[in-house]
C-alpha cells in the first residue's frame, strides 16, 4: 500500500504512531529491545534468593555515602 492510497485519517494515525515510537526511542533508547535469556534467569535467581544487601552497603560500595 502506498501513502497516496491512505485516507486522511489513516495517514494521521500512521504519523501519530511514528511520532510516538520516535519519542519512546528518544526517551528510552532501549525501547523495543528484549532481555536475553541469561539475564532473565539471573534476575529470577536473584529475586528468589533470600540473600539481601542493606541499602547503606550498596550506597557505600557505589561511593554514594
d(CA 17, CA 10): 11
Show me where the domains of the chain are located.
3-61
d(CA 34, CA 2): 31
Q: What are the tens digits of pLDDT across the range 13-63? A: 999 999 999 998 889 888 888 999 999 999 999 999 999 999 999 999 999
d(CA 55, CA 50): 15
- The x, y and z cell numbers of residue 53, run together, are 544487601
pTM for the model stands at 0.47
Q: Are 3 and 11 in contact (CB under 8 A)?
A: yes
Residue 11: CB atoms within 10 A of its CB come to 13
Amino acid at each position: 500500500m502506498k501513502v497516496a492510497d491512505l485516507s486522511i485519517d489513516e495517514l494521521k494515525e500512521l504519523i501519530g504512531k511514528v511520532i510516538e515510537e520516535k519519542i519512546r526511542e528518544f526517551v528510552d533508547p532501549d525501547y523495543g529491545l528484549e532481555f536475553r535469556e541469561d539475564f532473565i534467569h539471573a534476575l529470577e535467581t536473584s529475586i528468589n534468593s533470600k540473600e539481601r544487601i542493606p541499602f547503606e552497603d550498596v550506597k557505600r560500595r557505589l561511593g554514594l555515602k
